[in-house]
Amino acid sequence: MYIKTIAWFAIACASAWGQPAGDSKPASTNVMGAQYPRVHPDLRATFQLKAPEAKLVQVRLGQTYDMVRADDGVWTVTIPPQVPGFHYYSLVVDSVAVNDPGSEAFYGTSRQSSGIEIPEKDADYYEVQAVPHGEVRQIRYFSKVTGAWRRAFVYTPPGYDLNPKLRYPVLYLQHGGGEDERGWTVQGRADIILDNLIDRKQAVPMLIVMDKGYAVMAGEKPYVRAPGEPFDMRRLSSLPAFEKVVVDDLIPAIDARYRTLPDRDHRAMAGLSMGGGQTFEIVLHNLDKFAYVGGFSGVPGGNGGPVINTKTDFNGVLADAQAFNKRMKLVWIGTGTAEPAPMYKGMQGFREAITNAGIRHIYIESEGTSHEWLTWRRALHDFAPRLFKEAK
Amino acid sequence: MYIKTIAWFAIACASAWGQPAGDSKPASTNVMGAQYPRVHPDLRATFQLKAPEAKLVQVRLGQTYDMVRADDGVWTVTIPPQVPGFHYYSLVVDSVAVNDPGSEAFYGTSRQSSGIEIPEKDADYYEVQAVPHGEVRQIRYFSKVTGAWRRAFVYTPPGYDLNPKLRYPVLYLQHGGGEDERGWTVQGRADIILDNLIDRKQAVPMLIVMDKGYAVMAGEKPYVRAPGEPFDMRRLSSLPAFEKVVVDDLIPAIDARYRTLPDRDHRAMAGLSMGGGQTFEIVLHNLDKFAYVGGFSGVPGGNGGPVINTKTDFNGVLADAQAFNKRMKLVWIGTGTAEPAPMYKGMQGFREAITNAGIRHIYIESEGTSHEWLTWRRALHDFAPRLFKEAK
């Protein structure tokens, strides 16, 4: 009978299903069946697009590389070895940056972008292993602050449903500017990282809550970027509205729905890039609610803003370092060694300021990575095991 | 202090953030902040793309429409009123079909495609309402059949975690060819439809399990489409491997992890297009496991395959209509009145065959819709309330 189940609507797309190139393999970030882009053992990558009518087709991945047209209208290029990890990229057809039909889509750079995963040797902590797996749950909750329903994702650790009496600590984890609440699981693989850490007993079982780091107070107008202008990151980062959402709406919703340990000793917040800046603002304004804080390539003043004043900023909570160090169980900051200079220097400015003020903290660098997801996977992989240990 | 949280990495993209057009509104399917595409009150839609170097830019939405270039290199077109519901579309830049940077991405047509939601008057059953909301959970389970970990999504109804003694019936719900396990919640809004039906007491609380309808037996080679060729839908539909995954791996995994009612009287399966064909194959081969079956624009022989033989196909289970009608609680089929002829006719062939054989069934048409998601939202909205009622 299977022969009768043969033919439904499928639209073939002019795309990246050509012949393989040598001992390369389709990128793990490709859509099902797509043979391009491909990654070579030496980490070069080959891209391909059929575009018979185009004048020029390019790949934009950090740099911009011209592709070469064959007689059949298929453009191809192999680019030099890439740094391992996840990179956003675009194909550029006659000056228009477009998605590669061979790639999955990843919400970043404020649009659905193509992405390519370059394999990292001996790194299995963000790959799906034969271990118990938690769940990633999409929830909806009503925000009184914004007057609207919001969507968030909640990672529940393996066994959450099997231990109906156990209560869990919670990490609030934020994405970067131009990304959203999907980023930490889709690009960041936070759920897989925690599944593996928990299985190896390197991290305690915890919930992770990932919300959208944008908010507009009820009755106010949403921020819309003017035509052709870059984002105003101050407005994009949505403070103070987002802080109010987290404190007044999100935390109460999570504590009401999940078996949490609803106190500051069992609540952490971390974020990357814009999310790191938001995180420090929110945590330092609400020390009664959080005992752990992390900034992954993102801190107040992290990229072009003025360096913080540890005497007066954040209502002066950093001024008495001894009291602050006693109260906070962890301040974690980190960055990639290959980050663009303004970001790297911004982080160093913050680090120097809190060091000079006597604030106890951990500072970790990710070797060779830029302002991108492998830096942040590594950050989470270092950060999560430091959480909630003494609280067990 | 907010002033210091200003500047992180955001990549501006040359795209669809121009000036609004009249009393139109950005489509609800747009990415955050994107002003184009826009939908007009009369359901016309306006598209825009900046492409100064392109020779020709078009919109492909059913038909292909040429866009008009302004002096600033921005191309625009307003297309005639569209049928309400969700439609996949592409922009075409110098003959290459690409994503609209203003649109979210939706896995369909075997790639990440742009999509546009055209509002439907007086239809609120697939909009988020002020009602209790269930969760959509991403799970991973190991398949012995394929020898690999698989991802599926599970809708749990409102209150699932609050009623730890209650057990629930389960609907297995499949996507169409070129789509995957994300389709039913992202494009289909199955979770929202059930939240609303349950709140109105029109459907009983149930779980919905949405898996990827593709599978390759362990040790066998995955199906890869030859360059330039359309999909071989028989191979894409993955039978018999997918049937074995459902029966041997998926159902046991769900019954082990969730508080299900693990018998045939509390288990349904339905699918759309290719998923409808798969569903009938799987259910009719496994009548001991399912008591309800639904085919939404998809049945065996539904599009070009031979009409079924009700005497001999499916091990002859349809030959004794009286026995079959006694055993099955529901056979539901339906289609859109505007579907392409082969699909519409294929459905009629199946309908005629089971009618002539005396098989009791429900047949419902979706007025004015084609082979697309509004047809299937309507199908689910009619189908789900008929499930598990007497089993309560």
Task: Give residues with Cβ within 8 angstroms of B139, minimum separation 6.
Answer: A133, A135, B151, B152, B153, B154, B253, B257
CB–CB of A17 and B227 under 8 A? yes
Give the chain A residue whose CA is nearest to the CA of B236.
Answer: A6
Q: Select from A85, A118, A151 the last residue of a domain.
A: A118
| Same domain as B168, residue B85 | no
Predicted confidence (pLDDT) per residue in B90-102, tens digit? 999 999 999 999 9
- What residues pair up with B209 in beta bridges, in sequence order? B154, B172
pLDDT at B226: 67
| Same domain as A226, residue A85 | no
- What residues pair up with A173 in beta bridges, in sequence order? A270
CATH number of the domain that residue A45 is part of: 2.60.40.10
Taking residues B199-209, report their average pLDDT: 98
Tokens 């302004």 sit on residue = B70
Residue B230 binned pLDDT confidence (cut-offs 50, 70, 90)? low
| Same domain as A165, residue A224 | yes
Quick check: B60 and B73 in contact, CB under 8 A?
no
What backbone phi and psi angles, to 5 degrees, belong to A93?
A: -105, 110
CB–CB of A17 and B226 under 8 A? yes
Closest CA–CA distance from residue B149 to any residue of chain A (Å): 8
Helices (H), strands (E): how many in chain A? 9, 19
The residue segments making up the domain with residue B199 are 135-386
Q: Could you tell me if residue B127 is inside a domain?
A: no
| Same domain as B109, residue B222 | no
Nearest-by-Cβ selection for A49 from B12, B96, B149? B96
Q: How many domains does chain B have?
A: 2
CB–CB of B95 and A8 under 8 A? no
Tokens 């109906």 sit on residue = A164
Give the chain A residue whose CA is nearest to the CA of B102.
Answer: A111
CB–CB of A281 and B5 under 8 A? yes
Computed over every residue of chain B, the mean pLDDT equals 92
| Same domain as A101, residue A168 | no
For residue B346, the number of C-alpha atoms closer than 13 Å in the C-beta half-sphere is: 30
| Same domain as B140, residue B89 | no
Q: Could you tell me if residue B244 is inside a domain?
A: yes
Residue A338 binned pLDDT confidence (cut-offs 50, 70, 90)? very high
Q: Select from B84, B118, B152 the last residue of a domain.
A: B118
Q: Could you tell me if residue B129 is inside a domain?
A: no
Give the chain B residue whose CA is nearest to the CA of A148.
Answer: B130
Whether A7 has a pLDDT exceeding 90, the answer reads no
What's CA B67's distance to the chain center, in Å? 30
Q: Which amino acid makes up residue A186?
A: V
Predicted confidence (pLDDT) per residue in B303-341, tens digit? 767 899 999 999 999 999 999 999 999 999 999 999 999
Q: Cα(A341)–Cα(A369) distance, rounded to whole angstroms?
A: 13
**Tokens for A148?**
């609207």
| Same domain as B173, residue B58 | no
Closest CA–CA distance from residue B327 to any residue of chain A (Å): 21
CATH number of the domain that residue A228 is part of: 3.40.50.1820
Percent of chain B with pLDDT over 90: 85
pLDDT at B304: 67
Predicted confidence (pLDDT) per residue in A16-38, tens digit? 444 456 799 999 999 998 999 99
pLDDT at A222: 80
Nearest-by-Cβ selection for B135 from A138, A228, A274? A138
Q: Cα(A288)–Cα(A360) distance, rounded to whole angstroms?
A: 18
pLDDT at B12: 35
Nearest C-alpha neighbor of B339 from the set B301, B382, B302, B287? B302
Nearest-by-Cβ selection for A236 from B10, B35, B371? B10
Taking residues B50-76, report their average pLDDT: 97
Q: Which of B2, B9, B246 to mutate to test the interface with A (most CBs of A within 10 A)?
A: B9
pLDDT at A223: 76
Residues in chain B within 8 Å Cβ distance of A5: 234, 237, 239, 274, 277-278, 280-281, 300-301, 305
| Same domain as A139, residue A83 | no
Residue B301 binned pLDDT confidence (cut-offs 50, 70, 90)? confident
Q: Could you tell me if residue B184 is inside a domain?
A: yes
Q: Cα(B28)–Cα(B179) distance, rounded to whole angstroms?
A: 21
Pairing of strands B38-39, A96-98: unpaired
Q: Could you tell me if residue A124 is inside a domain?
A: no
Predicted confidence (pLDDT) per residue in A261-279, tens digit? 999 999 999 999 999 999 9
Q: Select from A59, A85, A118 the last residue of a domain.
A: A118
Nearest-by-Cβ selection for B2 from A53, A93, A281? A281
**Tokens for A371?**
């302002």
Nearest C-alpha neighbor of A8 from the set B368, B297, B213, B22? B297
Give the chain A residue whose CA is nearest to the CA of B340.
Answer: A9
Range name among B70-79, B222-231, B373-382 with the lowest pLDDT average = B222-231
| Same domain as A149, residue A64 | no
The SS3 call for residue A179 is coil
| Same domain as A72, residue A186 | no
Predicted confidence (pLDDT) per residue in B9-45, tens digit? 443 333 444 445 679 999 999 999 899 999 999 999 9
Q: Could you tell me if residue B293 is inside a domain?
A: yes
DSSP 8-state symbol, A181:
T
| Same domain as A254, residue A147 | yes
**Tokens for B283?**
């259910």
Q: Could you tell me if residue A391 is inside a domain?
A: no
Q: Which amino acid makes up residue A177?
A: G
Q: Cα(B279)–Cα(B299) distance, rounded to whole angstroms?
A: 8
Q: Could you tell me if residue A265 is inside a domain?
A: yes
Q: Which long-range contacts (CB under 8 A, 24 or more apart) does B232-237 make?
A: B233/A6, B233/A7, B233/A8, B233/A10, B233/B177, B233/B274, B234/A2, B234/A3, B234/A5, B234/A6, B234/A7, B236/A10, B236/B177, B236/B178, B236/B274, B237/A2, B237/A5, B237/A6, B237/A8, B237/B177, B237/B213, B237/B274, B237/B277, B237/B278
**Tokens for A22?**
């040598």
Whether A154 has a pLDDT exceeding 80, the answer reads yes
CB–CB of A13 and B94 under 8 A? no
Residues in chain B within 8 Å Cβ distance of A110: 10-13, 31-33
| Same domain as A275, residue A189 | yes
CB–CB of B31 and A107 under 8 A? yes
Nearest-by-Cβ selection for A1 from B185, B298, B313? B313
CB–CB of A137 and B139 under 8 A? no
Whether A89 has a pLDDT exceeding 80, the answer reads yes
pLDDT at A235: 73
pLDDT at B389: 87
Give the chain A residue whose CA is nearest to the CA of B52.
Answer: A95
pLDDT at B90: 97
Q: Which amino acid makes up residue A5?
A: T
Nearest-by-Cβ selection for B300 from A1, A137, A226? A1
Q: Which residue would you say has higher pLDDT here, A239 or A9?
A: A239
Beta strands in chain A (DSSP E): 25-26, 38-39, 45-50, 57-61, 63-66, 68-69, 74-79, 85-93, 96-98, 105-108, 111-118, 135-143, 148-156, 170-174, 207-211, 267-272, 292-296, 330-336, 362-366
